[in-house]
Amino acid sequence: MPELNRLLTDNLAIAFGVLAGLVLLLVIGFLVQSTRIGRAVRTYRELVRDQDGGTLHDRLVGSAEQAVRAGERMNEMEAMHSVMDQRTRRSLQHIGLVRYNPFDDTGSDQSFAIALLDDQRDGIVLSSLHGRTNTRIFAKPVADGGSPHNLSDEESQAIRIAVEGTRPG
């Protein structure tokens, strides 16, 4: 055992020097890694921060809120579209016009029949008969492309043009 004490005493300075060197290397490695981590943290913060100082989390939350509001607005617009679609179906959509000359003693086609129909083929047909001394206008209801009243050939043709979207031949 005295030999072991002597060996330790003789080499204590060397062992202390080696351990001090290792501690110094560990401190240098720690400082290098701390610097790298600090740089990485700064870079990360720059990446996630916008011009207004908000974070990526703030931007994501804001985007999610915008998406929710956009969805709500879309639902409102779909409801409005449905109402407008119902109204449009009952509005004037199909028009058929036939001009004609019912009398041989008058000039040009100043008489006409015009059919004004909605998408359900309901509406009215107006006829104007222009004569030498007077003009008469007649209105007849139209339901599903027909009328409970007798229709002239021109009125029937105006309804057909309105329903089919064709022009007189």
In the prediction, which pLDDT does 67 show?
A: 95
Are the C-beta atoms of residues 91 and 133 closer than 8 Å to each other?
no
Work out whether strand 123-130 and strand 94-100 pair parallel, antiparallel, or are unpaired. unpaired
In the prediction, which pLDDT does 2 show?
A: 78
Are the C-beta atoms of residues 98 and 125 closer than 8 Å to each other?
no
Q: What pLDDT, in 10s, does the model give residues 28-81?
A: 999 999 999 999 998 888 777 777 777 777 888 889 999 999 999 999 999 999
In the prediction, which pLDDT does 167 show?
A: 63
141: left (phi over 0), alpha (psi -120 to 50) or beta: beta
Separation of alpha carbons 89 and 156, rounded Å: 22
Query: φ and ψ at 161, to 5 degrees?
Result: -60, -40
112: left (phi over 0), alpha (psi -120 to 50) or beta: beta
Model pTM score: 0.55
In the prediction, which pLDDT does 55 show?
A: 76
In the prediction, which pLDDT does 168 show?
A: 55
Mean pLDDT of the 110-139 span? 92
Those residues with Cβ within 8 angstroms of residue 114's Cβ, 6 or more apart along the chain or in another chain: 95, 96, 97, 98, 125, 126, 127, 158
With 60 as the cut, is the pLDDT of residue 169 above it?
A: no
Separation of alpha carbons 89 and 82, rounded Å: 11
Identify the band that residue 161 occupies on the pLDDT scale cut at 50, 70 and 90: very high
